[in-house]
Amino acid sequence: MSLSHINSAGEANMVDVGDKQITQRVARASGILTMSASTLTAIRDNQLQKGEVLAVARVAGIQGAKRCSDLIPLCHPLALSKVTVEFMELSDTQLEIVAECKVSGKTGVEMEALTAVSVASLTVYDMCKAVDKAMVIGSICLLEKQGGKSGHWLRPTPASEAQ
């Protein structure tokens, strides 16, 4: 297996996507924030001093996806056609963030979806750190990708979750 971002001299380089086909590409990523139950309640009830945490985090995640190539050196700038950022309470202490990015292009949007989740998570942390410095951002991963030469990929469900 060779890495596409390494040239024949072993140096980092941007992949040439000029000859690739333009296809509809979609990627979904997620992450989980673990916090105190009182913090999640304050988020849900819009009781934090900085304002509506999830509304701000959603916009931050969208901005993060749009700025991915400014943050990750070898990513191509993409004209994203859609970015969504959604939140779901998994328990009284866990908030899941799921981002989906779409583009018609020559390269995938996995990094944009992962960046959206990361920036949205960091924004929740920033807006809540005054009441809960012990929050943990974790489990950021790609859930699914569609389009391009490799086609459709879906993260396998761990055996522990399949029951």
- Asked if 65 contacts 80 with a C-beta cutoff of 8 angstroms, the reply is yes
Cα end-to-end distance, the chain, whole Å: 34
- Asked if 56 contacts 127 with a C-beta cutoff of 8 angstroms, the reply is yes
Q: How many residues does the chain have?
A: 163
Task: Look up 132 and say whether it is catalytic.
Answer: no
Sign of CA dihedral 47, 50, 52, 53: negative
DSSP for 41-76, written as a single string: HHHHTT-STT--HHHHHHHHHHHHHHTHHHHSTTPP
Q: Which of 16, 19, 126, 132 is catalytic?
A: 126
> Is beta strand 153-154 parallel, antiparallel or unpaired with respect to 136-146?
antiparallel
- Write out the catalytic residue numbers: 126
